[in-house]
Structure 1
């Protein structure tokens, strides 16, 4: 009887997870593990989740302040102990701390006006944070968000640090703005990143206690930021700009080509607007001159300038139309390749 009730409970919980996944439009597989002991249950869940040889290597969860209420001290100890268990089993940890108003406000902020700050300590966790920030920027709702990499520097050699970081970003082809912060502190993090849409910060363990980059409990710093992801990498990753061969490589190349085509189209569109504005100004000057009765030579000069400006505007519009056509072609090619990958 007890076994049947446990199976029924697991069925209900899995169905609940499926509904949440469907409601949010997430591509994910639910898994429910029932165990009388939470720590041992985490052992089982972390090691069993996956499909065939594919195993999850990263765990995303809320900061413990957002968990159901219980004894604060006991809750913090259990939270840290369970996190450390997952980390020891080789899983990357991402702790997301968001303020409800700040997260909801993102819906009213255009992607182009959002900024993702990555606090860089030049280690495995830094590389993982940069990769995740880049992947977020590839999502359609964050597509034009800017990435800023803030490098912690404890000396005055800022020029070398900026150059090294710029080289890293260039090698991996990630469009981000490098900046060095001399002798960073919690106050510096808050000052630099209080207006960021999302902040990536490293953390570490001291015993079972998660600590921020400055060896302090994270609560004080988290309270000064809007949306924060604290990250700890269980293993190093390679920020390799060259994808695997075959369809994946073609998809990456097509995606890059689409991004380049869009940038060129934006540039040409701006040139078209400028050329059109200049043509209108020249035409207006011609009309005013004709109305004021200027000399024949002056009128001829203004007419020539207006005609030339109009011709340039027409040429700019044609070029913009061609670049926009290339965008549509690149978009179709990228979507076709993505469909090929997803159907495999």
Structure 2
């Protein structure tokens, strides 16, 4: 095995419990009791520990379901929610732990200088920085050369804290020791949630043991046992201390002004002073062991340069380069001095990691993948409750710092996403999306499509994207990220193979991605194009998620008119709308920015046409275009009434369009359209729906005449509405019209 192969006590329990028994226990616990009383203190301890306990349960479940490597929270989150989410929390968490080293050392220095100033010749502020820097160098040397030696030192620290607790619980102070000085000023009591925010960091030490996950002999056994045992130990001590203080200190005002109340109450004061020193140093040392290993795990996964993760020493287990970087960051924080402004933000990253650990375990249980078989079973609701508790605690402690932490994490996620790192492991994102889709489909299946939420769900029968790009461009302009789009191609059956289908799908998908077209790709084997297209129209889709609009190109092969008419009739019979795009062989004018809609009297068609015209104007290609609605009447006498109806229509429905009514002065409507729309960029026209008993030959003849009549025109989009939707309501057309 690589690493030190630490056991439960040495690798998880000791660093975790030493971080839990920190400076807050020695210097702030009495203040907590003085502000909220015994009942309030016990409630705060229980609430705070419950959050940590729920996170410990989630860690236990995750650790017994996967082979946990180095990096602690980063490793588990990245293997569950993806490398982007792991890096988004791993990088800020590294800096939080590195800066945390400076905080813990600052606490040690403050406690030391209250007892004795070893550098009296220097200004106190400068002396504090010198002592902190020297302490950092000593602790880094321990972590740099051997984590094993560092943890052995923690045994001595653990013993010192144990002795200090014994001294505290044996204390029986005299009334004189508990007297409040006459000159003392009693501060006002703080609110419950303010006190909770001060105490909560005292129970967040489980990250220390989790950070050494890559150096454990059996992470699946050690992480659950060591983490939960440390949480339990901390809870018992933290529940006993306020009860003992309440019995020994009858005047709660003393608790508000005496930050060294443990020293006042204890049987011997020296063990308490040593305990404060030991707690500060152990927390700093735990962070110095965990921060480099998070950085090392990020380097191994290529999130940061790989050389940073190089190992040295026994079994290449000591990340000395990462430790040196952690030292540099911590030294910068020490020299910076006042870090109170960023302290709340750093705490948020710890809570955010706990929340994501709970969320990972909860989602794994909710998805119920066959691979989710933890030996330590936890109901997914418990883990999700833990996630909610973590995020709620973040907001209660500092809403502003929470927002900053979320913004920073989101920014890192975005930057890693842009790098498009290819992880060599599977995560649960596919399972999460599948679960959401399953839920949505079952809900959607109980609903009927309505005019208010209608979107063109398009199946584009495009063939090769390179040869018929105009069809894909049209489909993409209509979909524009708000509708579903599928690009399909028919593969001749004699050339069919699973490998070839997959290769074609990948090739088309990559081609579309380069042109920023979001679409699904479907390759369908079939003996011929029209047979395959008909089969796709009948069968493509899943449950209620079936295409409601079919987009295809025209055909000018007269021998195929009958079969093509059969396809159009099939689309209409299956109640799918049809858009048939006929590309112009004319060179368009340079300023072809007009979209012309010709209204021939079919109200269903015009409703769909105007909906599609509105959709296409939202695309970048057509967003500057102007919409013109035109109609033709037989005589001058009809012109005024028709013009008034069109103007009233666009005014009532707030459609940004211009209207024009033309008189039929030529023998063919199509000659007028050809002349008036000569410079249009796109022309929408309606198609006649097939009659009930109309044969394929008859409708094929209609199609042939339509193609002949519309020759030498700009690009045409023929529209045939067939879906059982009142498209007049989609665009808002009045029922009176």
TM-score band by shorter chain is 0.5 to 0.7
Contact 1:201 1:230 in 2 (8 A): yes
Contact 1:117 1:193 in 2 (8 A): yes
Q: Aligned equivalents of 1:94 and 1:40: distance in 2?
A: 19
Q: Aligned equivalents of 1:51 and 1:17: distance in 2?
A: 22
Matched with 1:186 is 670
Distance verdict in 2 for CA 1:241–1:80, change over 3 Å: closer
1:85 to 556, 566, 570: 570
Matched with 2:711 is 223
Matched with 2:682 is 198
| 2:663 pairs with 1:151 | no
2:721 to 233, 241, 245: 233
SS of alignment partner, residue 497 of structure 2? helix
Contact 1:31 1:49 in 2 (8 A): no
The alignment's C-alpha RMSD in Å is 3.0
SS of alignment partner, residue 621 of structure 2? helix
Distance verdict in 2 for CA 1:119–1:5, change over 3 Å: closer
The runs of at least 4 aligned residues of structure 1 exceeding 6 Å deviation read none
Structure 2 spans left out of the alignment, 5+ residues = 1-492, 733-737
TM value normalised by structure 2? 0.28
SS of alignment partner, residue 521 of structure 2? coil
Contact 1:172 1:239 in 2 (8 A): no
SS of alignment partner, residue 223 of structure 1? coil
Which moves more between the two structures, 88-97 or 41-50? 41-50
Structure 1 spans left out of the alignment, 5+ residues = 66-71, 243-344
Q: Aligned equivalents of 1:20 and 1:207: distance in 2?
A: 40
Distance verdict in 2 for CA 1:100–1:187, change over 3 Å: closer
Pairing 1:1-344 to 2, within 5 Å after superposition: 6-36=497-527, 41-50=532-541, 52-65=543-556, 72-99=557-584, 102=587, 105=588, 108-109=590-591, 114-122=593-601, 123-155=603-635, 156-183=637-664, 185-204=669-688, 205=690, 207-208=695-696, 209=699, 217-235=705-723, 236-240=726-730
Summarize deviations over 1:72-120 as a string: whole Å, max 9, x none. Answer: 4432222221222122111111111113563xx57x54xxx61111001
Summarize deviations over 1:247-278 as a string: whole Å, max 9, x none. Answer: xxxxxxxxxxxxxxxxxxxxxxxxxxxxxxxx
Distance verdict in 2 for CA 1:62–1:50, change over 3 Å: same
Summarize deviations over 1:195-254 as a string: whole Å, max 9, x none. Answer: 111111112246433577xx8712333322121111111134134467xxxxxxxxxxxx
Q: Aligned equivalents of 2:569 and 2:514: distance in 1?
A: 31
SS of alignment partner, residue 611 of structure 2? helix
Summarize deviations over 1:149-185 as a string: whole Å, max 9, x none. Answer: 1123345322222222222222322111111123461
TM value normalised by structure 1? 0.58
Which protein has greater RCO, CA pairs closer than 8 Å, 6+ apart?
A: 2
State the aligned residue count.
227
SS of alignment partner, residue 139 of structure 1? coil
Post-superposition offset of 1:192: 1.1
Higher strand share: 1
Matched with 1:338 is none
Distance verdict in 2 for CA 1:80–1:13, change over 3 Å: farther
Distance verdict in 2 for CA 1:38–1:85, change over 3 Å: farther
Q: Aligned equivalents of 1:85 and 1:199: distance in 2?
A: 25
Q: Which has the larger radius of gyration?
A: 2
